[in-house]
Structure 1
Amino acid sequence: MSEFKNRVTKKCIESKVIQTHRVLPSDLNHHQTLFGGNLMSWIDNTASISAARHSRGITVTASVDSLDFLHPLPSNHSVCIESYVSGVGKSSMEVFCKIMGEDLMTGERYLAATSFSTFVSMKSETNPTVVVPIIEPTTKEEKLVCSGYEKRHEKRLLNREFNEQFANVISYSAVWEE
């Protein structure tokens, strides 16, 4: 693609972020496991840092494309969220998050969730032309994750088209006004 000519390339590790949290009683749902909304907030925070590191500009969350809960996170376990940029467009970036749990008493670790989000780098006075760097995976995991970017990107474009049409039909008047 001609749009990728002369673009800077960065390795996935340059955008890598690791955040760790302890699941506290105030973080729990009625099942006594981490409330999903808390995890979503932590994921968005972690992923936003990866996007900013990669673009070195102002970024905003465009979408949370997938969040797959694989294992509950009980009280007193730790939650380690590892994120990095896994694909890029011209001004958009896909960020992958791997969420690992750890039983702090036994040391047992497990994959608790995975997530993909899309961020957009915004124009600003200091950055009037936004073109994010190309991403280069180096580890086996990064290569696997990044290899699926094109398919996920195509799916996002189809979803966006559907959502735009859907939004045109959805009523936003208050039910009490009808």
Structure 2
Amino acid sequence: MTAAQITVTTWHLEQTAPGDVRPPASPAPEAEFVRAELIGPEFARFLYTAVGGDWNWTDRLPWSYREWADWLARPGLETWVAWVRGTPAGYVQLEPHPEGEVEIAYFGLIPAFHGRGLGGHLLTHGLRRAWDLADRHPGLPATRRVTVHTCSLDGPAALRNYESRGFRLFRTETAEQPAATTPGPWENSRP
């Protein structure tokens, strides 16, 4: 028996200058953006499943504790968390690459915080931190390019939010992949 296949479109986007960042016009909601300087595998995995569960983020679910710890120990990797009244609401993770490229490796909100105008502000904060990443990490080259990849499985506002914050499309790919059998961070997680 062959697993069901779905067609997934992936959009690759970039910014090439700090001036490309376009903050939202709306006032910022009540939130604090804090760098998780002592992030461990437990909290990183929590953010990954809480944000990505409904969008079929599954590639890191089989990771061991050691694999999470190794990922988080990479030089220059930063995780910025949005907090609303003491509650984690979402995150943006910055991954530096050679030659001054910084990738928005993961970005999103926990479902309870969707639709509150927070996503554009969190992404703007993450982009500003991507552009000044080398200032916090001696030895990293200055950021010359910020990239992000999103796909048709991500939230319906993802691509629009990236483009509204100043990202430009540079490549589109379409591929077949197995359909997820259990959406959400656990079975029956959607209300």
TM-score (norm 2): 0.25
TM-score (norm 1): 0.26
* Larger RCO, structures 1/2 (Cα 8 Å, 6+ apart): 2
Q: Which of the pair has more CA radius of gyration?
A: 1
